[in-house]
Amino acid sequence: MSRVLVLVRHGQSEWNLKNLFTGWKDPDLTPLGVEEATAAGQRLKALGVRFDVAYTSVLTRAQRTLSLILDEIGQTDLPTVRDQALNERDYGELTGLNKDDARARWGEEQVHVWRRSFDVPPPGGESLKDTAARVLPYFEAEILPRVLKGENVLVAAHGNSLRALIMQLEGLTGEEIVARELATGVPIVYHLDETGRIVSKDVLSG
């Protein structure tokens, strides 16, 4: 298999568990998150794909997820690139707040708009549109060319940075991608042709 692109959202983090807006803060994985990342590696091992390079963010939860996956697939020496271009969306003033507390402060409707609109950023933070403007140029310059030349690439990142990539790959609108839920620790496997068109897509949910 060649021209394989695998996207994995990090396993559950300590702040996911506490229902906090995380953004660029750097909590580690929970024990469940470790299990999810390990299971992701086991599913990829069963698939039999060997990777040429991995990409991840500068945040611990994504890096540790990647490390656990590489342990499982026996590629702990895989060349790995870490870049903040793949970081989670910056939630600005919402960062570190419990989502229920944020609703109490700003109202249910306003928080829903910040979380689920494509182009409305929270105070001091990024919208998904802003996140895509950061992620996609990096993807198109650094990651996609390696896939197109026949390499297999693994990306361990975050819900919103991966939404930006999926929007581009699948040709989705902003409204469609904000409605797309990404489970933690579940690999999405794309096979691309030489033009970058999707030949097949598999979600390895166990």
Residue 171 and residue 196 in contact, taking contact as beta carbons nearer than 8 Å? no
State both tokens at 159: 């819900």
Residue 159 and residue 109 in contact, taking contact as beta carbons nearer than 8 Å? no
Q: Which of 36, 88, 126, 158 is catalytic?
A: 88
One-letter amino acid of 125: G
Of 88, 80, 70, nearest in space to 26 by CA: 88
Known catalytic residue: 93?
no
Give the 3-state secondary structure of residue 199: strand
The whole-angstrom separation of Cα 83 and Cα 86 is: 6
Residue 100 and residue 19 in contact, taking contact as beta carbons nearer than 8 Å? yes
Question: 71 — phi, psi (to 5°)?
Answer: -60, -45
Known catalytic residue: 112?
no
Q: Which of 10, 72, 158, 191 is catalytic?
A: 10
Residues forming the active site: 10, 88
